[in-house]
Copies of this chain bind each other. A is one copy, B any other.
């Protein structure tokens, strides 16, 4: 049934080490590009946006093979699902122009056509893999750039709809799981440090999303005045530093509150394996504890891949696509619990 969500590819690619894969959930890079032959989105007529879509599509199809998704052919559930899978932006769903989405063969590169910028090329992968994924994104961007001319200025760099993306058009981010720092109440201090060096800190679903499940997205705020490589290196270094303090926080927990820690972990797994009704938020919080337990070796019979998959499939739209059924919230909570029990080998009596 999972293939109902044909774009769902939980990030399985490993990071530098398994430790990183638990703490650094995923790495993401996106480039904003506009075509010099077309006005920016705000001045683009529908007729021209249609032409832009067809032109881009033919180029991308050749340069970056994969599947093309015509957004207007999707149900609202499927559109919501793409958002839950982090493959499109909330703004993309609100465009009142023809829009299209490209997914490469591995499902780790997606290109939105006619978002706020003409093209938004995104790479998403598991673990701390910024160097790798950004190389793939730039390769794709270059291929397309051979056939289509990007709006570029010698002084400013790449031109974008919104000045906050001017220059490199690059936004790189990592999704960090920091339960140790949350447990020891140090997470704010650490994240304040990130803000001070020009990073933005957000929740699981980016700008405006709440912090849940001890998950924090860290991304660059500035796109101007720094080379792409420097920017990515800065985030990688910062990530290593945060992983380091997270590990120290965990050591402190083991020394001072081992029983409370294990209690939380084992209770969470037990509830995931036994509940009959479960909300999205509770799922996220329990999965966070489970993830923590796997990362510390306390839980040995559940893999991170399963946790990553549940984190995606348990979302409100995805769980409906998974069961191929339109479900009201209460039914969703029941089916979600059923799905999770099945995935974690839970109690079915």
Which residues of A come within 8 Å of B, CB atoms? 259-260, 262-263, 266-267, 269-271, 273-277, 299-301, 334, 337, 347, 349
Contact between chains at A277 and B260 (CB < 8 Å): yes
- Could you say which residues of chain B place their CB within 8 Å of the CB of A300? 349
What are 22 A-B residue pairs whose CB atoms fall within 8 Å in the complex? Answer: A259-B276, A259-B277, A259-B334, A260-B277, A262-B276, A263-B276, A263-B277, A263-B337, A266-B276, A266-B347, A267-B270, A267-B271, A267-B274, A267-B275, A269-B274, A270-B271, A270-B273, A270-B274, A270-B347, A271-B271, A299-B349, A301-B349
Query: How many protomers of this protein does the assembly include?
Result: 2
Q: A262: nearest residue on chain B (CB-CB)?
A: B276
- Expressed in whole angstroms, the Cα–Cα distance for A269 and B263 within the complex equals 15
For the complex formed, measure the closest distance between the CB of A183 and the CB atoms of chain B, giving whole angstroms: 15
CB distance from A92 to the nearest CB of B (A): 36
Within the complex, what minimum Cβ distance (angstroms) separates A294 from chain B?
Answer: 13
Which 7 A/B pairs are nearest by Cβ-Cβ distance? A270-B274, A270-B270, A263-B276, A266-B274, A263-B277, A262-B276, A259-B276
A266 proximity list for chain B (CB < 8 A): 274-276, 347
User: Provided the pairs A270-B270, A347-B270 are in contact, do residues A275 and B263 lie with their beta carbons within 8 angstroms?
Assistant: yes
